[in-house]
Structure 1
Amino acid sequence: MAVKLRLRREGTTKRPFYRVVAADSRSPRDGRFIEIIGQYRPLENPSGIEIDNERAVYWLRNGAQPTEAVQNLLRISGAWEEFKPGDAPKRDRSAQNEQPKLSKKARAKAAEAAEAAASAEPEEATEGGE
């Protein structure tokens, strides 16, 4: 089940407020949800933001994907800084150590440059030694 952190609209016509919820990505916007983790009241001045940072970080560390609006709210509340996107489940480190894939032309140019550099180094070494 893919979990998203998103806004659920509440309130009356022209008087909205939102709840920040953890919900299955397949459920409708105002439909079923797993847990309420906060509220956002955009009509207050300044906007009211109440988020349970502990629960938000818990869901983020377990792979929940926030929408852009929720990600901005998490930054304001400080939960995003606690989470640090690097804290997400670790990917395979061997993929990070691989060199970027190059086209055939780029690989050929890189090979030519390496050969030219290798052939130029011994000549410089012999000239400096004499």
Structure 2
Amino acid sequence: MIRLARVGARKQPHYRIVVIEKDRARNGRSVEVVGTYNPRTNPATVDLKRDRIAYWTGNGAQLSDRVEKLLAAAPKAEVAPAA
């Protein structure tokens, strides 16, 4: 499953977007970190490794509801043309 893991100090949330087994605890040992989400910036900052997310979803990983919304809302990265 791909979901959020909370990090950061008390009342200062910052999240990692992680690939983790579904039965593990929210902040349990993850397989891979595939992004970060910081809701405290204006606007909220989302950094994603889209290629790794596509790899894991291709291998059967499910997205949590919140991560699915973050993926839809995050702008696609600009690809520079090959020179």
Q: TM class by shorter-chain length?
A: 0.7 to 0.9
Match of 2:24 in 1: 27
TM-score, length-normalised on structure 1? 0.56
Counterpart secondary structure, 2:13: strand
1:53 and 2:50 are equivalent in the alignment? yes
Q: Please list every run of 5 or more consecutive structure 2 residues that lacks an aligned counterpart in the other structure.
A: 77-83
Report 1:1-130 matches (<5 A). 4-77=1-74
1:19-59 per-residue CA deviation (whole Å, 9 max, x = no partner) reads 00000011100111000000000010000000000000111
RMSD: 1.2
Per chain length, whose mean CA-contact separation is higher, i.e. which structure has more relative contact order (CA < 8 Å, sep 6+)? 2
For these two proteins, the number of residue pairs brought into alignment is 76
Find the aligned partners of 2:46 and 2:66 in 1 and give their Cα distance.
12
| Aligned partner of residue 65 in structure 1, secondary structure | coil
TM (norm. structure 2) is 0.87
The DSSP-based 3-state class of the residue aligned with 2:16 is: strand
1:20 touches 1:70 (CA, 8 Å); kept in 2? yes
Identity %: 37
* Greater per-residue helix proportion: 1
SS of equivalent residue, structure 2 residue 52: helix
Task: Give the superposition deviation at 1:77.
Answer: 3.0
Q: What residue ranges of structure 1 are gaps of 5+ in the alignment?
A: 80-130
Considering only CA atoms, is the larger Rg found in Structure 1 or Structure 2? 1
